[in-house]
Amino acid sequence: MTRDAIFMDGKVAIITGGAGGIGSCTARLLASRGAKVAIADIAHDAAEKLASEIDGAIAIALNLEDEASVEAMIADTVAHFGRLDVLVNNAALLGPDIAQADNDIETMSTALWDRTFAVNARGTMIGCRAALPHLRETTGNIVNTVSNLALQGHMIQAAYSSSKAAIIQMTRAIATSHGKQGIRCNAVAPGMTMTPALREAFPVPLREVVEGESLLPKLGQPEDIAEAIAFLASGAARNITGQVLTADAGCAVHVPGLIGFRDLFAGVHA
């Protein structure tokens, strides 16, 4: 694999949710590989601080519930840098209060369902729609951050997982509609990733259950997901489109009841 396939010299990338755990790691990684980055986040002060630490980066205030804000993110980036090569749709509605309220469908509030889809699915769609004409000019690509919960059933986070499943289908639709124009569209599906927001939203006992289901010694770090995003955004993935790269330490690939089987066989072999 050549340096040109991995590095992104001269490319311009937008990272939504760019001031958060996965987003900030992605912004730093893409910049380290030569890209000019626009850090878009509703937390504008945090985005500006991060941008000040990355050579050539800019910060953009972004509200994914506001169509004009999303369209301005694309327009302002192109106006500043003169082009757009990569759109990383990483932002999502996920915080301690949201996580606690987002349970099963029977207890789901319509307002929470609608807001989750407005931010996650609708906001991502608007960003893709505004970016596509510019990506056509540069033979660029889109990477959407989804979730392994979009691939599995769970007793919690019904709205979040459903909205991320919608983004997976959107990923396939864009890849199919625009592939012949040279535009790739892929998704990364993280498992539980040890971001500051996750540590705040999910208690230790819950994290320990997921860690037990992992096939690797530890849960993923934001840097791990950033590497997956950077790969799909790079020329190294030039023949990959319409795909979901699951980066969840193997949680989604094994049979149910892994923890129980481990405990059972540990007793047999004790």
Q: Report pLDDT digits (tens) over 74-124.
A: 999 999 999 999 999 999 998 888 988 999 999 999 999 999 999 999 999
16, burial (CB in 10 Å: exposed 0-12, middle 13-18, buried 19+):
buried
Mean pLDDT value of segment 29-53: 98
Q: What is the pTM of this model?
A: 0.92
61-69, long-range: CB within 8 Å, 24+ apart, which pairs?
62/16, 62/91, 64/16, 64/91, 64/118, 64/119, 64/120, 64/122, 64/123, 64/124, 64/126, 64/127, 65/115, 65/118, 65/119, 65/123, 67/126
Q: What is the pLDDT of residue 19?
A: 97
Locate the domains of the chain by residue range: 3-268
**Catalytic (active-site) positions:** 160
Q: Report pLDDT digits (tens) over 159-212.
A: 999 999 999 999 999 999 999 999 999 999 998 887 777 677 677 887 788 888
Structure tokens at 167: 């983004």
- DSSP letter for 82, please: S
107 Cβ neighbours under 8 A, 6+ residues apart: none
CATH code given to domain 3-268: 3.40.50.720
